[in-house]
Structure formats: structure tokens, C-alpha cells
């Protein structure tokens, strides 16, 4: 006997959606406003990695020697990604973020973003980057309307930056930030990972730098993903982050409802706080101390076509072959099957440790 929720879903379903019922599809169902999983979370956001390669070796992302790169034949081509994005769009995905590694190290990435925008004019589109290659790609990036950008920047100290990235030049990032502003990329966010004993004293300075440049600053709790990198002694939770900010910058108040200054949907991961003195905001992503798993709306797809319904779940759903074969029905079925396995919390799996560069951040 079908449950009441299944009866409602059948009544609201389109003909395509009803085909999934008849085919005995897994429990998550595709709707125009996103896939609703078995726990009621609407899955409408995809993070797609275009490469596992990066020009930096950040200490919380990969080992000093780097990671063995995938061969060109083992990663999805741009036309594969466009086809997969079309499938995801049909299933209700409304926001796509491209990640790496460093996405701009892949040849033709800026041009691909323009192609993506042409094919998906209504899709919310953004890219996560270290910004070191933005300036040299600025002319092509300027051709991409409504492109958002998250820039990873953990310190403003040139020596610490070189240490954090194992050799990077912070001036390349500064040039990239300036170029992004000049060509009208919006919103721009700075993501910093606070680490006790390394950059914890810089948090107010990072915020002020972001505000001075019209950028949204955010802090992401250091996640225990990579073996040999994360330690509890260096972890800085949201409470400690707020203590430092209040000590140095006065009172902060949680913005209510949990919405960001740039229109992020409420299911986004960050909590935004308003500074009493300036009225400006900063975000904290409580990935560990107060994780947002119960409202997680995302899928992660690696450059080799593995889909993770959770960053920490190593049981990837392989999509590479169905993408290559352009098998629409099988692709939708596998995506739904992967979503059906989405855990309630990353604490329930914790079997997916690896290097962030290979997962897609």
C-alpha cells in the first residue's frame, strides 16, 4: 500500500517522473524544484570537479609531493560535463559550482564556463579557485554572465601563504582578486580555514580586507578529512572563531533568518553574522562543530565521474561509463540510487577520507 507521501508525489509528478515510479526507481524522486531524498532534503546543488590537478600544495588539501594525477582519458571531457549537467538540470539541480583541484589549470576552462552559461542561462553558476590564474584568464571570464567566485585565501601574510601553499606567491592571488572585481564577477567570497597556531590571529584582518574590496568573508572549520593533516589541537570551532572576532571587532549577531548577504538559499552551509559596529557580515561554515547535514542540498561529482552524496562517504556512485555512453535512463537511475544512499550525517559514514583535491572540495 503506497504511503501518503507517495500518493502526493504521484499526483504532483510529471509524465517523466511517473516513469520512475513505474520503473521501480529508488526512493528519492526528481521534481522540478529538486530531488527530495528519503529524509526530506531537497537536492538541487551540484559541485563538479573538472580536474584533480592544482598549482598549489595546500597543507590541508594534499601531501607535499602532490597526488598521482589522473590521465586525460580518465576524466570527463567538457562535452561530457555539459551532458551530465543537462541530466542534473532535468532532475531539478538549479546551482552548479565548478571546482578542482584548481579548475583554471585545465586548459580551456574559462571558455567552457561561457559555453555552460550559453547552454544553461538560468542555472546559478560559480567556481571555486585559488585565484592565482584569474588575472591571465580575465578576458575570457568576463564573457561569462552572472558568474560567482569563491576564492580560497587562508592568510594575508606572504610568508605564511608560501608555507600554507608550499610555494605559492600571494601577489598572484591579489592580482586575481583585483581582476575578478574589475570584470564584474559577483558575488565574490573569500573562504579561509582557521587553524590554531597558524592564522587564528589574522581573522579580523581577513575580514577587513574582504570588506574593503566588496567581498563576502567566510571561515570554514578545519575538517578531519585527510589522514596526517587534521589534528584536534589545531582545530578552531565556530565558538572560538566568534570569541576572537568579538574580542577584536566588537559584538556580532546572527543574521535571521539564516540568509547570506548575496542571496544564498537557506539550505546553504554558512551562518552569517552581522558586525554591530560596521553593519557588514561574515560567514562561518560549521562543518564539524554544528554540521549542516540535516539540510545538505548538494552532490559532489569528481573529475573521473564518481558521485558522492556526502563528502565523507567514499562509496561513490560511478557515472563515468553512463555519461560516456549518453545513456539518459541509466544516468538518472544511478544518480537517484546514489542519493538514496545519502547519509543523515557525515558521522554515520566517515569512510571517505582522502585528499580534497581528488574529491572536488
Neighbours of 226 (CB within 10 A): 17
> pLDDT at position 134, please?
98
Residue with grid cell 583585483, as numbered in its chain: 178
Closest CA to 180 of 147, 226, 221: 147
C-alpha cell at 265: 538559499
> pLDDT at position 1, please?
39
Buried b (16+ CB within 10 A) or exposed e, 319-336: bbebbeeeeeeebbbbbb
> pLDDT at position 69, please?
85
> pLDDT at position 35, please?
82
> pLDDT at position 310, please?
87
Q: Write the DSSP symbol of residue 235.
A: B
Distance CA 260, CA 125 (A): 17
The answer to whether 307 touches 301, Cβ cutoff 8 Å, is yes
Distance CA 252, CA 241 (A): 11
Q: How many helices (H) and strands (E) does the chain have?
A: 12, 14
The answer to whether 344 touches 294, Cβ cutoff 8 Å, is yes
Closest CA to 131 of 185, 82, 78: 185
DSSP structure string for 256-272: SSS--TT---TTSSEEE
Q: Hey, CA dihedral for 350, 354, 358, 361, is it positive or negative?
A: positive
Neighbours of 146 (CB within 10 A): 14
Residue with grid cell 597526488, as numbered in its chain: 67
> pLDDT at position 265, please?
41
Neighbours of 222 (CB within 10 A): 22
Closest CA to 297 of 315, 284, 310, 283: 310
C-alpha cell at 239: 565558538
Which ranges of 183-223 would DSSP assign to H, the alpha helix? 203-212
Distance CA 180, CA 131 (A): 9
Order of strands across the sheet that contains 252-254: 252-254, 270-275, 281-285, 216-220, 188-192, 147-152, 124-129, 95-99, 45-49, 298-301, 306-308, 317-318
C-alpha cell at 186: 559577483
- CATH number for region 31-217+294-359: 3.20.20.70
> pLDDT at position 39, please?
83
Distance CA 159, CA 55 (A): 17
pLDDT in tens, the chain (361 residues): 344 444 444 444 555 545 544 544 445 655 556 688 888 889 999 999 999 999 998 887 777 776 788 998 999 999 999 999 999 999 999 999 999 999 999 999 999 999 999 999 999 999 999 999 999 999 999 999 999 999 999 999 999 999 999 999 999 999 999 999 999 999 999 999 999 989 999 999 999 999 999 999 999 988 765 555 556 777 899 999 999 999 999 999 999 655 444 444 445 688 999 999 999 999 999 878 777 788 889 999 999 999 998 887 778 999 999 999 999 999 999 999 999 888 877 666 655 455 554 565 5
Distance CA 286, CA 271 (A): 8
C-alpha cell at 101: 583541484
> pLDDT at position 260, please?
46
3-state secondary structure 151-178: EECCCCCHHHHHHHHCCCCHHHHHHHHH
Q: How is the chain split into domains, by residue range? A: 1-26, 31-217+294-359
CA neighbours within 13 Å on the CB side: how many for 87? 20
Three-state DSSP at 357 gives helix
Amino acid at each position: 500500500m503506497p504511503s501518503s507521501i507517495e500518493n502526493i508525489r504521484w499526483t504532483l509528478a510529471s509524465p517523466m517522473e511517473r516513469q520512475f515510479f513505474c520503473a521501480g526507481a529508488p526512493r528519492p524522486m526528481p521534481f522540478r524544484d529538486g530531488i527530495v531524498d528519503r529524509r526530506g532534503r531537497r537536492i538541487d546543488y551540484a559541485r563538479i570537479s573538472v580536474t584533480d590537478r592544482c598549482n598549489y600544495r595546500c597543507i590541508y588539501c594534499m601531501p607535499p609531493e602532490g597526488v598521482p594525477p589522473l590521465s586525460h582519458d580518465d576524466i570527463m571531457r567538457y562535452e561530457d560535463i555539459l551532458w551530465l549537467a543537462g541530466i542534473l538540470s532535468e532532475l531539478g539541480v538549479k546551482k552548479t559550482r565548478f571546482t578542482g583541484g584548481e579548475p583554471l589549470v585545465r586548459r580551456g576552462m574559462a571558455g567552457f564556463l561561457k559555453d555552460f552559461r550559453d547552454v544553461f542561462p538560468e542555472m546559478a553558476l560559480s567556481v571555486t579557485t585559488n585565484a592565482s590564474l584569474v588575472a591571465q584568464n580575465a578576458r575570457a571570464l568576463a564573457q561569462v554572465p552572472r558568474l560567482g567566485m569563491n576564492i580560497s585565501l587562508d592568510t594575508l601574510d606572504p610568508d605564511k601563504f608560501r608555507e600554507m601553499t608550499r610555494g605559492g606567491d600571494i601577489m598572484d592571488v591579489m592580482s586575481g582578486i583585483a581582476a575578478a572585481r574589475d570584470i564584474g564577477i559577483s558575488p565574490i567570497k573569500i573562504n579561509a580555514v582557521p587553524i590554531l597556531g597558524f592564522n587564528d590571529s589574522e581573522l579580523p584582518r581577513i575580514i577587513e580586507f574582504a570588506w574593503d574590496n566588496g567581498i563576502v568573508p567566510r571561515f570554514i572549520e578545519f575538517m578531519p578529512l585527510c589522514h596526517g593533516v587534521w589534528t584536534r589541537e589545531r582545530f578552531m570551532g565556530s565558538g572560538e572563531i566568534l570569541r576572537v572576532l568579538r574580542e577584536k571587532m566588537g559584538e556580532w549577531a546572527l543574521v535571521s533568518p539564516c540568509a547570506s548577504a548575496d542571496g544564498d538559499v537557506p539550505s546553504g552551509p554558512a551562518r552569517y553574522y552581522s558586525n554591530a559596529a560596521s553593519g557588514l557580515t561574515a560567514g562561518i561554515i560549521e562543518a564539524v562543530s554544528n554540521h549542516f547535514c540535516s539540510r545538505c542540498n548538494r552532490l559532489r561529482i569528481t573529475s573521473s565521474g564518481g558521485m558522492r552524496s556526502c563528502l565523507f562517504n567514499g562509496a561513490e556512485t560511478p557515472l563515468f561509463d553512463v555519461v560516456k555512453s549518453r545513456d539518459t535512463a541509466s544516468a538518472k537511475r544511478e544518480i537517484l540510487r546514489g542519493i538514496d544512499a545519502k547519509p543523515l550525517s557525515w558521522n554515520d559514514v566517515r569512510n571517505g577520507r582522502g585528499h580534497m583535491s581528488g574529491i572536488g572540495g
